[in-house]
Structure 1
Amino acid sequence: MSTPATGLAEETEATESLSLFHLMDPAVRANPYPLYRRLRTEDPVHWDPYLHAWIVTRYQDVVTVLSRFSADRTPSPEYFEALGVPEVSPIAKVMVKQMLFKDAPAHSRLRKLAGPAFMPARVRLLHRHIEEIADRLLDDIEARGDGKTDLMAEFAEPLPAIVTAEMLGVPVEDHVKLKEWSVTFAEMLGNFQHNPDRLGGVLRAVEHLAEYFQDAIHERRRYPKDGLIQSLMSAHADGDRLTDDEIVANCIVTMVGGLETTTNLIGNGALALLRNADKLAELRADRALIPDAVEELLRYESPSQLTARIAPGDVLLGGKQIRERQAVIAVMAAGNHDPERFSNPEQLILNRPDCRHLAFGWAAHFCFGAPLARLEGQVAFDSLLRRFPHLRLADEPLVWRENLGLRGLERLPLTLAPGP
């Protein structure tokens, strides 16, 4: 029998081993769900001493955090200058203007001005055009004639990149460089810590993106053109308008959100189906299941795994005392596998009833791009199954990206056979 002191030491060691910092390990990143399950069952509101943050993993606790805690978590540029790292200030100057990091009333104002561009009725008008883009990409894969593809590079990445460029109202041929900048900027959104060796790349991406969208705003003033940039420039409510800096910042976060999460939805979803051959056959036999299947794929292998909030005051959650201004990391992917909310959560159930997942967040910060992401996912899977009904995983190792919060594959090598 251990002494109380020994028992305390063992307990401390056991709970410290639960750290989300383990996501830095490629093996854990390849399958983070056992780690999430341990956190959810052993210490669902867990103080992570390595990240200096509370980790929340149960569905209802995640909903509480996303509903009631503060999203205003980005330090000001002056904060980084005071720390002696002024080189980070240009990134902070962009992020502090993004609705992702705002609470009401600032968040409500930005959402009210930007939201109409992504209303479901407006997005539905794009359905046929997105199908045309998907078919063109699949035509290029088929035309090569070698019976294989890297689905990420040739389909999952360019489809949302082209759609997003068109939504923004910028030249479609720019989608390649916009994607490159997006991937780099997303490192700031998805990782706990940032490699100093890569900070220069992030800074350059921010500079390129800011300059790109500033130029686009100036161009739209001379030559108006339909698209999100024009919509944000024209948006007004109660006499209020967005500043140019706000338009730039929110074009960046909208673009990054649209490109990274939708790319990962397609890649992660395709992998999940290929690993569950019976479900792939079920979907192939009845493509009317695709809308429900997309919701289940979002739950099962969430493109956005986690997000951070700040305690608005002293809060008791799950029996733990969280102090005002302490950081809380809500792990949506863990909540999406909570057996108290979803029966048989480790099973892929394409027509799962009441699949109210957390992949798009919750409450005021629910992703306003969700209608477009859902539509792109539905079109992507419908087009793939129609054109290549015999997709198979190639015999190559899978490598997951190093972005811990935005879960996705580097490559997804497949063999394929054309449809009739």
Structure 2
Amino acid sequence: MSTAEITFDAFESSERADPYPAYRRVRDAAALFPYAFDEVPVTLVTRYEECSAVLTGADWGHGYAAGISPFRDTTAAIPGSFVRMDPPEHARYRKLVAKAFTPRMVGELAPVAGQVVNELVDAAVQRGELDILADLAVPLAVAMIPVRLLGADPADGARFREWQLAIARGSDPDTLLGEADMTARGAAAMACMGYFAELIARKKHSPTPDLLSELVAASVDGDMLTESEVIGISLLLLVAGMETSINLIGNGMLALLRNPEQLRLLRERPELIGSALDEMLRYDAPTQFTIRVALADTVVGGREFKRGDGVVVLTASASRDDRVFPDADSFDITRYAGTRPARKHLGFSLGIHYCVGAPLARIEAEAAVLTLLDRAPELRLASDTIEYRPSLIHRGVTALPVTM
């Protein structure tokens, strides 16, 4: 079937519950598929090999600094957001963030996550009911990122969630947003920047043992982050970090609950948790796609792209590509176990923009999933009706009530 006979409808609201058949239709039709994204003519990259080539290729980036991107800059109002940057500026940010966000710091967060999860599950057991999103994933993400990492006031948790959701929703194409969505996006970004500016001022005067204080003080060869840059990184951690970990737990637990034989296997063999998390990220990723721009004339999948050409990299489609992942639409927690694990999924992207918060998201999800399976032996979905948030880039359910 030719591309002219296929309509890409995965971004339609009617497909929100399950966009994967729509991804399959375009993936089977072509690796590179013409599409109008936010009213801009671009190319959808649908298959694994081509998506990987774009994500890791030196000829691909964001192009905002060079003024060649055809896409709206969703982070234009947020200074210092290095997800939109290309080398060498991106390398500078990454190096300074790595100076503060060390493997040791991340490792020290594992027992903290375990303690938070145990307290949340204890409260759920006493109530006899649990919404995995509202009662576990969200408060865990708030406790770990704005409170523990950034040293913010725990009492502001509801505000963080409100801001984070508004900015995450606002990262979708403007043509798919209502006026209220765009207004909320701008208001949330301004409120966040004001909040973190005040918090950074306090950290400068009285540092505390958290990432934000480390970012304020981070220095590499005499180079330090400016205040606006620290604000941008804080917003990135708040929005992308919270959304990724919340939706990894929600989507992952939903996959387990809909595949009870896999849930039983993980309960019997908790050592499979690492493989299970990778399969959750492959099977139903928290982030469904990303965008890139050709920084120079280049070739991908046998097609020539000119400098300034835009592509939408459908990472969620690539991770279901049967050419790479046999029986790709099946959820199999052993896929990444053993001596010959599957190819790397694209759930955290690849290349220089690989998710800096991936280790923390995995720590949170591991604690949440294993504790639930251990403490709730009769865990079941309380309803077969599952609703998804309207966001396209960020995929997650609105609620996930379970019986225990």
Give the structure 1 partner of residue 152 of structure 2: 170
| Aligned mates of 2:103, 2:270 — CA distance in 1 | 21
Render the CA deviation track for 1:61-86: whole Å, top value 9, x for unaligned: 11111112443355899x9xxxxxxx
1:56 aligns with 2:45: yes
| Aligned mates of 1:117, 1:203 — CA distance in 2 | 29
Distance 1:286 1:206, change over 3 A: same
Using the TM superposition, give the Cα deviation of residue 313 of structure 1 relative to its aligned residue in structure 2, in angstroms: 2.4
Using the TM superposition, give the Cα deviation of residue 346 of structure 1 relative to its aligned residue in structure 2, in angstroms: 1.3
| Aligned mates of 1:161, 1:191 — CA distance in 2 | 27
Give the structure 2 partner of residue 100 of structure 1: 83
CA contact (8 A) 1:44 1:318 kept: yes
Structure 1 segment 221-232 matched on structure 2, within 5 A: 221-232=204-215
CA contact (8 A) 2:3 2:30 kept: no
1:393 counterpart (364, 372, 381): 381
CA contact (8 A) 1:71 1:100 kept: no
Render the CA deviation track for 1:305-342: whole Å, top value 9, x for unaligned: 10001111233322333222121110111111111221
Structure 1 segment 1-400 matched on structure 2, within 5 A: 13-15=4-6, 17-18=7-8, 22-49=9-36, 51=38, 52-68=41-57, 69-74=59-64, 92-94=76-78, 97-145=80-128, 148-164=129-145, 165-191=147-173, 193=175, 194-352=177-335, 353-400=341-388
Which secondary structure state, in structure 2, belongs to the residue aligned with residue 308 of structure 1?
strand
Which secondary structure state, in structure 1, belongs to the residue aligned with residue 325 of structure 2?
coil
CA contact (8 A) 2:3 2:26 kept: no
CA contact (8 A) 2:3 2:33 kept: no
Distance 1:104 1:140, change over 3 A: same
Count of residues in Structure 1 that have an aligned counterpart in Structure 2? 392
Distance 1:230 1:286, change over 3 A: same
Render the CA deviation track for 1:76-102: whole Å, top value 9, x for unaligned: 99x9xxxxxxxx9996231x5211000
Which secondary structure state, in structure 2, belongs to the residue aligned with residue 128 of structure 1?
helix
CA-based RMSD: 2.3
Using the TM superposition, give the Cα deviation of residue 191 of structure 1 relative to its aligned residue in structure 2, in angstroms: 4.2
Using the TM superposition, give the Cα deviation of residue 13 of structure 1 relative to its aligned residue in structure 2, in angstroms: 4.5
| Aligned mates of 1:102, 1:121 — CA distance in 2 | 26
Render the CA deviation track for 1:224-272: whole Å, top value 9, x for unaligned: 1121211111111111111101010111011111100110000000000
TM-score by length of 2: 0.91
CA contact (8 A) 2:65 2:85 kept: no
> Aligned letter for 2:84?
F
> Aligned letter for 2:36?
P
Using the TM superposition, give the Cα deviation of residue 175 of structure 1 relative to its aligned residue in structure 2, in angstroms: 2.2
Structure 1 window deviating more from structure 2 (177-186 vs 111-120): it is 111-120
CA contact (8 A) 1:295 1:355 kept: no
Percent of counterpart pairs with the same letter? 32
Q: Which runs of 5+ in 2 are unaligned?
A: 336-340
Greater helix proportion? 1
Which secondary structure state, in structure 2, belongs to the residue aligned with residue 23 of structure 1?
coil
Structure number, greater radius of gyration: 1
| Aligned mates of 2:400, 2:210 — CA distance in 1 | 32
Give the structure 1 partner of residue 338 of structure 2: none
